[in-house]
Amino acid sequence: MNLDDLTRGTGEWLRGEGPLSDVVVSSRIRLARNLAERPFLTTASESDRTEIYRSLASDVTAAGDDDAMFVDLDEADTVDRDFLVERNLISRQHASGNGSRGVSISSRETRSLMINEEDHLRIQGLRSGFQLDAIWEEVNRADDAIAESSPFAFDSQLGYLTACPTNVGTGIRVSVMLHLPGLRLTKEIERVARAARDLHLAVRGLQGEGTEAVGDLYQLSNQTTLGKTEAEIIGAFSTSIIPRIVDYERAARETLSKKQPVRLDDKIWRAYGLLSNARRISSGETHTLLSPLRMGIFMGRFSKFDVKRWNELFLFTQPAHLQKVHGVSMGERERAIARADYLRDRLEAID
Amino acid sequence: MSSLQCERCHQAKATVHITDTVPEKTERHLCENCAESEGVIVKHQHPTTNEVLQQFLKHKAASTGHDDLVCPKCSLSFNDFQLKGQLGCPHDYTVFREYLLPLIERAHEGQVRHIGKVPKTAEATVHRQTDLVRLRRELRDAVAGEDYEQAANVRDKIRTLEDA
């Protein structure tokens, strides 16, 4: 398997299936790990870094499935790296870093093992909809398998040791990506975000730290990693936080369809009109316009295409995907035109 | 485009660019703070390492004299850590422990003890530590209850574990 094979599909997290998928786009868990007896990357020399990379690359490959793909990020070009960021398989920081680093990606894109990101290893599990338990099982198993050949830095009081003390302990970060257009329209989104922050959760945009909530997509994640078990951290999301927000969003959609059906349909159909007629369009505007369509699909108010097709439009209009499919590198202006062409083409084919 | 000023506060650089298409096409250019106060974006709320560090530096003002502390393994000084926000090697947690714990406690809602997953290789050590904690408590209770036979018993168990 190679990177070009990935361009044929949307990958696991955008399958649009799984529990609560009308509101929960995807779920993710990542574990931060470092090799014992090795410096963290902040003080590692070039040769330390290369040794860490080589040692982990072989352990990770041995622990992975046969179809897993390994990408050497130091050698990969910018478009390929951005392509992996857009698919949520590596972080922005990992893409733009320097020196020996790489990622192993499982064939269904449910698991990615990032070597030399902020820590030596980041084990990530990613699935469509709300599936934290299945992800934890996969991530935990990968962690055990790799630990057999690479003992991780661990302290009996502080747990897994990480480069930044904010990740110490379990090293776990649970993130759930939510689509909340209803709460945005009823102007309740800030209240929900504030409630989430009161529960010590971080609220972010699509691609993690510091990114905007474009297209009504919000990522919720835990901030503390010490003093709780992994099961407790995951359980807080599963039993209270997420089901409650899903209920709020569904109630907001219900209110809108009862009290303002015309406003709602107008929003959906104007967005569709623009997407299927624009001659040039940015990826931000595309995501903003796609948002009401996703809501419309799940509310039964829009049936031109289903959520699978929506996911495809969402992913392939992002800059690196667009360039990957066209096979040429393009500047922002060219991409805006190519994006509009792509959208008209796809939407016309559906119609 | 990137050198635009925020049109709301006219001070900071505009980094958020919004195109509204309904009711008519309008463009707005805001800085991050103004965009957040208008509810256009949600800034990440995870306390950045800098925020945690700044809190920490405030705390540090009261306790000085360990800036020059250096890890013998990676040569990182505590001062380096304060500047970078990242540690240099796992051993730093041992060398700087006393000064790191207040920071860790603050970043993790008052918690300073890991109770989650333990790697198989460390299980024996961790179990020993938990056993020790439990036995010391038993010893204290035995002494308080003037059960000296039991206390001697527990003390021997503690010694064996400590020597292991």
CA A249/CA A79 separation, integer angstroms:
35
Express each pLDDT in A104-127 by its tens digit: 999 889 999 999 999 999 999 999
Residue % of chain A over a pLDDT of 90: 80
> Cis peptide before B23, with omega less than 30 degrees from 0?
yes
Q: Test B117 with A140 for CB contact under 8 angstroms.
A: yes
- Is A197 within 8 Å of B111 when comparing Cβ atoms? no
Tens digit of each residue's pLDDT (9 = 90 or more) over A300-321: 999 999 998 999 999 999 999 9
Which residues of chain A lie closer than 8 angstroms to B37, CB-CB? Answer: none
Burial class (CB within 10 angstroms; exposed 0-12, middle 13-18, buried 19+) of B12: middle
- Inter-chain residue contact A155 with B103, CB threshold 8 Å: no
Residues in chain A within 8 Å Cβ distance of B87: 40, 42, 163-165
Probe site for chain A from B42, B100, B128 (most A CB atoms < 10 A): B42
Length of chain B: 164
Structure tokens at A123: 């084990």
CA distances from A321 to A15, A98, A339, B133, B138 (A): 17, 23, 10, 55, 63
Across A33-42, A211-220, B153-162, the highest mean pLDDT is recorded for A33-42
- Which candidate from B19, B76, B93 shows the least CB-CB separation from A161? B93
Nearest to B119 among A152, A164, A225 (CB): A152
Q: Judge contact between A71 and A80, C-beta under 8 A.
A: yes
Q: How many residues belong to chain A?
A: 351
Q: Please give the share of chain B, as a percent, with pLDDT higher than 90.
A: 39
With contact defined as beta carbons under 8 Å apart, do A206 and A187 qualify? Answer: no
Mean pLDDT over all residues of chain A?
A: 92
The whole-number pLDDT of residue B16 equals: 74
Residue B120 binned pLDDT confidence (cut-offs 50, 70, 90): confident
Q: Quick one: closest CA in B to A173, which residue? A: B46
What's the farthest any 2 CA atoms get from each other in chain A? 64
CB contact under 8 A, B109 and A189: no
Q: Do A166 and B52 touch (CB under 8 A)?
A: yes
Q: What is the predicted pLDDT for the residue at A9?
A: 77
More confident: B127 or A272: A272
Q: How far apart are the first and last CA of chain A?
A: 33
Residue that is written with structure tokens 């020399």 in the block: A45
Comparing A243-257, A271-285, B23-37, B103-117, which segment has the lowest mean pLDDT?
Answer: B23-37
pLDDT tens per residue, range A142-193: 999 999 988 999 998 999 999 999 999 999 999 999 999 999 999 999 889 8
B129 contacts on A by Cβ (under 8 Å): 156-157
Q: What is the reported pTM? A: 0.81
Cβ-Cβ contacts under 8 Å between A and B: the total is 171
B129: nearest CA in chain A? A156
| The predicted structure's pLDDT at residue A166 | 95
Residue A135 pLDDT exceeds 70: yes
Could you please report the per-residue DSSP string of B8-73? Answer: TTSSSBP-EEEEE-SSS-EEEEE-HHHHHHTTS-----SPPHHHHHHHHHHHHTTS-S-TT-B-TT
Question: Rounded distance, CA A302 to CA A22, Å?
Answer: 14
At residue B1, the pLDDT reads 40
- Closest B-chain CA to A207: B44
Taking only the tens place, the pLDDT of each residue in B89-106 is 999 999 999 999 999 999
pLDDT, average across residues B2-23: 72
Give the span between the Cα atoms of A270 and A260, in whole angstroms.
Answer: 15
pLDDT band at B63 (very low <50, low <70, confident <90, very high): low
Q: Is the pLDDT of residue B65 over 70?
A: no
Nearest by Cα to A41 from A134, A156, A120: A120
Of all residues in chain B, the one with the smallest CA distance to A204 is B44
Q: Which of A250, A266, A319 is nearest to A95 (CA)?
A: A319
Min distance B152 CA to chain A CA atoms (Å): 27
How many whole angstroms separate alpha carbon A115 and alpha carbon B66?
Answer: 33
- Cβ separation B44–A209 shorter than 8 A: yes
At position A72, the amino acid (one-letter code) is D
Query: Taking residues B6-35, what's their average pLDDT?
Result: 74
Among A256, A258, A248, A236, residue whose Cα is nearest residue A191: A248
Contact A230 B16 (CB under 8 A): no
Which of A226, A234, A289 is most worth mutating to test chain B (most B CB atoms within 10 A of its CB)? A226
- Interface touch B49/A164, C-beta < 8 Å: yes
Rg (CA), chain A: 21
Instruction: Spell out which residues of chain A touch residue B122, defining contact as CB-CB under 8 Å.
Output: 154, 156
Which of the four pLDDT bands, split at 50, 70 and 90, describes residue A229? very high
Instruction: Tell whether the model's pLDDT for residue A339 goes beyond 80.
Output: yes
**B52: number of Cβ within 10 Å:** 19
- pLDDT of B54 strictly over 90: no
The phi-psi region of residue A279 (left if phi > 0; otherwise alpha if psi is between -120 and 50; otherwise beta) is: alpha
Residue B13 pLDDT level (bands cut at 50, 70, 90): confident
Position B164 pLDDT exceeds 80: no
pLDDT bracket for residue B44 (50, 70, 90): very low
**DSSP letters of A251-286?**
HHHHHHHHH-HHHHHHHHHHHHHHHHH-SS--HHHH
Q: What is the mean pLDDT of residues B94-119?
A: 93
The secondary structure of residue A215, as a DSSP letter, is G
At a CB cut-off of 8 Å and minimum separation 6, what does A44 contact?
Answer: A38, A52
DSSP annotation of B120 reads G
Alpha helices in A150-229 (DSSP H): 181-185, 189-198
Residue B36 has pLDDT above 80, yes or no: no
Contact A152, B119 (CB under 8 A): yes
Cβ(A96)–Cβ(A209) under 8 Å?
no
Q: Taking Cα atoms as reference points, which of A170, A221, A226 lies closest to residue B107? A: A226
| Confidence at B57, pLDDT banded by 50, 70, 90 | low
Q: What is the predicted pLDDT for the residue at B27?
A: 76
Contacts of A276 in chain B (CB under 8 A): none
Q: Which amino acid is at A123?
A: I
Nearest CA in chain A to B103: A165
pLDDT (average), residues B122-142 = 81
Q: Which residue of B has its CA nearest to A286?
A: B19
Q: To probe the interface with A, which of B104, B108, B120, B125 has the most A CB atoms within 10 Å?
A: B108
Q: Which pLDDT belongs to residue A79?
A: 93
- ipTM value, please give it: 0.88
Q: Are B41 and A205 in contact (CB under 8 A)?
A: yes
Which among A43, A147, A212 has the least Cβ separation from residue B88? A43
